[in-house]
Amino acid sequence: MHDCRRMAVLIPEFPGQTHIFFWREIQALREAGNHVEIISTRKPRAKNFHEFFSQVSDTYYLTKIPVIRLIAHILANLPWLMRSVLYCFRLQASFSDKLRTLLFIPLAANLQLYCKTKEIGHIHVHSSADASHIVAIGALSGKFTYSVCIHGNLNQYGRNHPEKLSGASAIITVTEPLRSEILDALPNYPRDQVHVVPMGVNVSKFLPRTYAEFGTKPIILTSVSRLAYVKGHTYTLQALAQLPENLNFIYKIVGDGEMREKLEQEVHELGLTDKVVFMGFKKEQEVNKILQTTDIFVLTSFGFGEAAPVAIMEAMACGVATVCSIIGGTRDMITDGHDGMLVRQKDVEDIKRAILFLLENSGKIKAISENARATAEEKFCHRRVANRLAQHIIHA
């Protein structure tokens, strides 16, 4: 019997700049009395600036391989090695991809060594891509169980999901639509072992702001995300450019990324130079402070890959009215017109409509603010969702 209260969380390239919500989950699991180690595939390529960076120095990286111990371990577990090789060659993939998957076997063996040393009974992996292959291969030894958290549409995470996921004791999705996608992709997997558990936000830290009547001060709109094409900043900018000229507003874009230069050029071309401020990357405490002065939060992502945006959870926890595209599980998060505003993807007119509605209805924006906070407390409290996750893992 595996002791699932002694667990490890595996996060690829941890700690990345967007990994603060993983750290919240780990903290909450530990606070609830679970023993939690942190494992990653390799160190992130980009420098991390989050304040939690110094607290995760004990992260174990699977690419740091103890060669002699690993060889001895593999030679002592030849039946497992044969099962692992068969796993790789049974994949529905090209021959070169099968050979590539073989390279995960040493990492899986290293994972086994670490779990033995730390007496880990369960691995919870936040990826259904290569990291899931590594854990699935490692679990063929029968020495630990594993669960997988799905954060986005499966087509974003490669192929062979039945092979990666079928051996999991539980599958966690962050939205209901993703759960439906898993059930369709794995029709033989037990339905009662696929659970919806969103990532969470610290509602004790992200506290509700106080709204004042719109008056002489500029109305503050804010976005917090990577500056990537799929985040849809361009559609927000186009909508703002069509607002009445006498409207006094400032749009703060928090985050950094490959689209920054192009977005700065677009701001100039749209004549928004005096209304848009690029804030760059900000730490959690700085984001919290910005949200305390924000009137409307905007996230107009499109396409795939956006499931349950944590930035929306943080804004709602601060009682900020949100304008969010219908993407992934945002319909699960926001009730349109009650605790936020939902808009169609890439629809500039719809985005403008939602923003104007909030600006012209100060009483409504206050009601949405209060409802958003209530929703965040009920659905997104990181301690509550971590406890739910632990229960699904322990009782799987």
Query: Among 178, 98, 104, which residue's Cα sits nearest to residue 134?
Result: 104
The neighbouring-strand residues paired with 38 are 9
pLDDT at residue 211 greater than cutoff 70: no
Report the relative pairing of strands 219-224 and 249-254 from DSSP bridges: parallel
Confidence of residue 1 (pLDDT cuts 50, 70, 90): low
| Range 29-39 average pLDDT | 96
Residue 207, Cβ neighbours under 10 Å: how many? Answer: 14
Instruction: Give residue for tokens 């497992």.
Output: 80
For CA atoms 251, 256, 261, 266, the dihedral sign is negative
Total Cβ atoms within 10 A of residue 164:
26
pLDDT for 54 beyond 80: no
Is a pLDDT exceeding 90 seen at residue 337?
yes
pLDDT at 370 over 80: yes
In the prediction, which pLDDT does 360 show?
85
Q: Residue 340 has what pLDDT? A: 97
pLDDT of 246? 85
Unique residue bearing structure tokens 């605790």? 339
pLDDT digits (tens, 9 = 90+) for 62-94: 999 999 999 999 999 999 999 999 999 999 999
**C-beta neighbour count of 277 within 10 angstroms:** 15
Task: Give percent of the chain with pLDDT exceeding 90.
Answer: 80
Task: Identify the band that residue 395 occupies on the pLDDT scale cut at 50, 70 and 90.
Answer: confident
Per-residue confidence band for 324, with pLDDT thresholds at 50, 70 and 90: very high
CA dihedral 256, 262, 265, 266 (to 10 degrees): -100
Using CA atoms, how far apart are residues 110 and 138, in angstroms rounded to an integer? 9
- pLDDT of 181 > 90? The answer is yes
Contact present, 123 and 8 (Cβ < 8 Å): yes
| Residue 216 pLDDT level (bands cut at 50, 70, 90) | low
Nearest to 333 by CA among 302, 287, 288, 299: 299
Q: Positive or negative CA dihedral for 330, 332, 337, 343? A: positive
Q: Is the dihedral of CA 72, 74, 79, 82 positive or negative?
A: negative
CB atoms within 10 A of CB 69: 13
> In sequence order, which residues have a C-beta less than 8 Å from that of residue 347 and are 6 or more positions away?
235
Higher per-residue confidence, 58 vs 222 = 222
Tell me phi and psi for residue 35, to 5 degrees. Answer: -85, 120
Amino acid, single-letter form, for residue 19: H
Number of other residues whose CB lies within 10 A of the CB of residue 206: 25
| SS3 label, residue 149 | strand
Dihedral of CA atoms 377, 379, 383, 386 in degrees, nearest 10, equals 180
Helix and strand numbers, DSSP H then E, in the chain? 16, 13
The pLDDT of residue 168 is: 97
Sign of the CA dihedral running 286, 288, 289, 295: positive
Query: What's the rounded mean pLDDT across residues 169-178?
Result: 95
CA distance 166 to 139: 11
pLDDT at position 213 over 80: no
The separation between the first and the last C-alpha atoms of the chain, rounded to the nearest angstrom, is 12
| Cross-strand bridge partners of residue 124 | 9, 147
Q: What pLDDT does 19 receive? A: 86
Residue 200: pLDDT band by 50, 70, 90 thresholds? very high
Tokens of 217: 């001060």
Mean of the per-residue pLDDT values for the chain? 93
231-284: pLDDT as tens digits: 999 999 999 999 998 888 999 999 999 999 999 999 999 999 999 999 998 988
